Amino acid sequence: MSNPIAEQINSALLEAESKLAAATCDADVEEVRIHILGRKGLLASLSGSMGALSADERKEAGIAFNTGRSRCKELVDAALLRIKSAAKTGDRAQFDLTLPGRRQPVGRKHPVVTVIDDAVAVFRRLGFIVADGPEIEDVFHNFDALNTPAAHPSRDPGDTFYFSDGRLLRTQTSPVQIRTMENHEPPVRIVAPGRCFRRDTPDATHSMNFHQIEGLLIDRGVSLADLKSVLQMFAIEMFGQGVKIRLRPHFFPFTEPSVEYDFSCIMCNGSGCSVCKHSGWLEIAGAGVVDPNVLKNVGYDPEIWTGYAFGLGIERIAMLRYRINDIRLLYENDVRFLEQF
Ligand code: PHE
């Protein structure tokens, strides 16, 4: 073939063919395509020199242009297809190893779950086993069996979520005490972590849905001193040797005597700060010696069996441990918040 333009096109096609055969990614193919078919590519620039040819040569060159263009398109399409199917079948050699990797987000435990797990682990070491109960409760287990008087304010529909059939969302994990004792002979030694619900107006320290860990120990000759020692141990396990505890007299229908259980403020070491409202102490739980009426309600003989119970506020502990100043942050599921734990 003596036509210089046709010759150039053919040799460019040969070169393109070998480059496309070696191409490993779309970008390699695109480079070849632009070089030949692009707006400033080989074909475009050669077409500018057609004017210098004779009529016959021009005809010959025209044919070379047309076949060159369509052949080049075929080669490009074939190369793209080959790369795509190689990627699908996992032929590593065909991957573009220069592309940045895709980071897989790693999930982690919610701080509330971490605190529950850690607290439960402490009680397991002390011989407690984990018990469970329903979040939808009946009035008997949530109130009556727990010796709660008929007129007690906590029963009010302004404080408790009731269903139309009279059942309710449990306001505390204490009904698990009743369910456990109904189904097991004494002695009993359980902890029961779980969700509770109260009709509270949400603010920095209140949520309508929060978590408690209930503890119940029933045995012979159990006293308030036993309760105090287990709460002391729990405080040290969770917050270290420096933490002190105190029990303040309180009232719960199902314990007698009843106490509130405070930690010395872990922010200021008891010297007084805004977190502990300058008292030096933080309220963590309600607790007490199990009321004989509760034992009677489940058929235990209060002349033989004694016990203590406690209900720890999980969110409270989580907020102290992680220095979280608003309980609502725990429930917004904002990944920027959750990633910090
Ligand atoms: N159930 C009580 C509350 O939610 C806490 C508590 C549990 C008190 C066990 C005494 C014994 O406030």
286 lines ligand 1 (CB under 6 A): yes
Q: How many domains does the chain have?
A: 2
User: Which of 46, 67, 94 corresponds to the end of one domain?
Assistant: 94
Please tell me the predicted confidence (pLDDT) of residue 1.
Answer: 47
The rounded Å distance from CA 259 to ligand 1 centre is 9
> Residue 304 and residue 325: Cα distance in Å, rounded?
45
> Residue 174 and residue 312: Cα distance in Å, rounded?
11
Please check whether residues 160 and 62 belong to one and the same domain: no
Residues of the chain where predicted confidence (pLDDT) is lower than 50:
1
The closest alpha carbon to 321, from 243, 268, 266, 269, belongs to 266
Q: What angle do CA 90, 94, 95 make, to 5 degrees?
A: 80
The rounded Å distance from CA 148 to ligand 1 centre is 12
Please check whether residues 40 and 122 belong to one and the same domain: no
The closest alpha carbon to 253, from 137, 142, 138, belongs to 142
Please tell me the predicted confidence (pLDDT) of residue 2.
Answer: 64
102 domain residue, yes or no: no
Give the structural domain span for 199: 111-338
The closest alpha carbon to 255, from 329, 325, 322, 177, belongs to 177
Please tell me the predicted confidence (pLDDT) of residue 24.
Answer: 87
Please tell me the predicted confidence (pLDDT) of residue 91.
Answer: 58
pTM of this prediction? Answer: 0.71
Please tell me the predicted confidence (pLDDT) of residue 164.
Answer: 97
259 domain residue, yes or no: yes
111 lines ligand 1 (CB under 6 A): no
Contact 80, 29 (CB under 8 A): yes
The rounded Å distance from CA 333 to ligand 1 centre is 28
Please check whether residues 251 and 291 belong to one and the same domain: yes
143 lines ligand 1 (CB under 6 A): no
Please check whether residues 175 and 268 belong to one and the same domain: yes
Report CA dihedral (21, 27, 30, 34) to the nearest 10 degrees. -120
Please tell me the predicted confidence (pLDDT) of residue 304.
Answer: 98
> Residue 3 and residue 86: Cα distance in Å, rounded?
39
Please check whether residues 43 and 187 belong to one and the same domain: no
